[in-house]
Structure 1
Amino acid sequence: MSALTLERMRADVAGMLGEVPEDIGDDDNLMDLGLDSMRVLGLVLAWGNTGIALEFSHLAEHATLGGWWGVVQRLQARAAAGA
């Protein structure tokens, strides 16, 4: 399993929205861009396959890619410390 990166997250979000990754800013409100809860759930499932204990509730607390990346970094650090 490879670590989840900000670049992959941006590309996956952009793919869900039919946009190019460069159009998704760290501070853009993803819900305003058209991301809905079903798409977020799909992302959680895909990203969970990278070995972190990511849950929908973790992302639901944030509306930006930057916020999500902060959550992922904390989960990756926690997973590394427990390994």
Structure 2
Amino acid sequence: MSTLTLDRMRADIARILHETPEDIRDDDNLMDLGLDSMRLMKLASQWREAGAAVEFADLAVAATLAQWWALVSRTAGQSTTDRP
């Protein structure tokens, strides 16, 4: 079971973009905020280590935290409304 939470994902994204978590909204296009493929690979690796069944390619086709959370929730068997 994944120990990854929406709050952790938001914090990880904020940290890698040098932002505060409050500045990362669920529907922000993360590429527009400066997330590039190298940083995305790093996030995917961190999240896999936390137990999420996510791959870089899956994350690369989606551009928002909401889409990524839906993917993580689906692969963990959680509801996307199950927020930490």
**TM-score range with shorter-chain normalisation?**
0.7 to 0.9
Amino acid at match of 2:48: G
Map 1:20-59 to 2 at 5 A. Answer: 20-59=20-59
Match of 2:10 in 1: 10
Cα 1:57–1:70 change in 2 (3 A) is same
Percent identical pairs in the alignment equals 59
- In the alignment, structure 1 segments of 5+ residues that lack a partner are 79-83
1:2 deviates by: 5.7
1:54 deviates by: 1.3
CA RMSD in angstroms comes to: 1.5
Residue-by-residue CA offset, 1:11-68 (whole Å, 9 max, x unaligned) = 0000000000000000000000000000000000000012232110110111000000
Cα 1:59–1:2 change in 2 (3 A) is closer
Larger Rg: 1
Q: Counting helix residues as a fraction of each chain, which structure ranks higher?
A: 1
Match of 1:77 in 2: 77
Equivalent pair of 2:2/2:52 in contact (CA under 8 Å)? no
- Deviation larger for 6-15 or 54-63: 54-63
Aligned length: 78
